[in-house]
Amino acid sequence: MGVATRCLLLELLDVSVSDLLTSGTQGGRPQQGHSMWLVQHCARDILEALAFLHREGYVHADLKPRNILWSADDECFKLIDFGLSFKEGNQDVKYIQTDGYRAPEAELQNSLAQAGVEVEGDSGCTSAVDMWGLGIILLEMFSGMKLKETVRSQKWKENSASIVDHLFASNSVVCPAIPVYHLRDLIKSMLLNNPKQRCSAETALLSPLFSIPFAPHIEDLVLLPTPVLRLLNLIDDSHLHNEEEYEEILEDMKEECQKYGSVVSLLIPKENPGKGQVFVEYANSSDSKEAQRLLTGRTFDGKLVVATFYPLSAYKRDMKSYSDGLTSSRSMSPSSRSSPPAAQINGVLQWLSESPDLYPIERPWCCLKAAIHKSHATNVKNLEQICQEVRNPPNSVPSW
């Protein structure tokens, strides 16, 4: 008989924040940081994990980009590697945290341990070390820069707040239209030298940063896998209005997409949101990833395929919205369709704010409203013109 063995089963996760930071460099040089949506998403997910961990009395003690991974199925960032974790007040690990993400008190404790000096009583590290590590990670994600040498410098030790201010004020990493000051203030509250003055995870979750509805950029939708695939640059308006051609395209797309895994649903909206885009929901994210890899760059009817992922929650909402729209359009009279109510403009605004990459909400609302005002838009047919205006806002914007 074979010897019984114990197996530890771990959840299969995807890309790490370390991978995301690497994707933000070119030729070893840092490029622009990640979108506010991505930074906000990561901050919220990890703060929720830390809030739970700290309530239970535990310290993770090794927050770093490599230990934060994306879950494609749950569409959130998760915290891994609890090898250095300890119960607060009963620290049984001498050396904690990784260089570059190590809090000042952990730096001191590690030095004392290396010198053979025992740490007694309540002088051990607390959950505040986790907040410091997360603060550095978020600053790196925002700036697109690795800060290991920066946090080692004497200038950082003397006045880290001024360096944070400089990174946020730099025109090379921030667009003036993006409301980033809440993130700046949150990071500064995590990087206070006195651990007792640092914000807790639960307090950090109350930051105004998390009330801003940022939208993902197209880069985010390429980097972060989900079970839903979105195919762009495939369908012309003429295909949408010819029912026979439309049904043929649906069948062709289903046949092609099923080569890579089990397809749960497939949608090609005839109207906005998502007009002419192909949405494919797979049974699992691994199939979606394989399809994205193999479909990107291929040609369909002479057109180059662009494949991104798409949030499952947004897809479900869009499916319902599209279904409701079909029902309401069938019941509308010709006169009501030709002269939509003013409320439809508000619906357009809401859709634009919720539609990833079509309208990044980092753009100020006044630019969007100015674009609608300028184009005299009264229905969704003018959305492309609106979006073009939003991407290149006018120099003068009327007050609203």
Query: Could you write out the DSSP letters of every residue in 204-228?
Result: HTTSGGGGS-----HHHHHHS--SE
Query: Which ranges in the chain belong to alpha helices (H)?
Result: 17-23, 36-55, 104-114, 128-143, 148-152, 154-169, 181-190, 201-204, 218-223, 237-241, 243-257, 285-295, 312-331, 334-338, 343-354, 365-375, 383-391
Could you list the active site residues? Answer: 45, 62
Measured between alpha carbons, how far is 304 from 297 in angstroms, rounded to an integer?
6
Distance CA 160, CA 153 (A): 10
Helix (H, G, I), strand (E, B) or coil at 308: strand
Strands 299-300 and 58-59: unpaired
**Which tokens go with 5?**
């063995």
How distant, in Å, are the alpha carbons of 76, 112, 278, 334, 378 from that of 218? 17, 47, 15, 37, 27
**Contact yes or no for 135/190 (Cβ under 8 A):** yes
Q: Check: CB of residue 234 under 8 Å from CB of residue 303.
A: yes
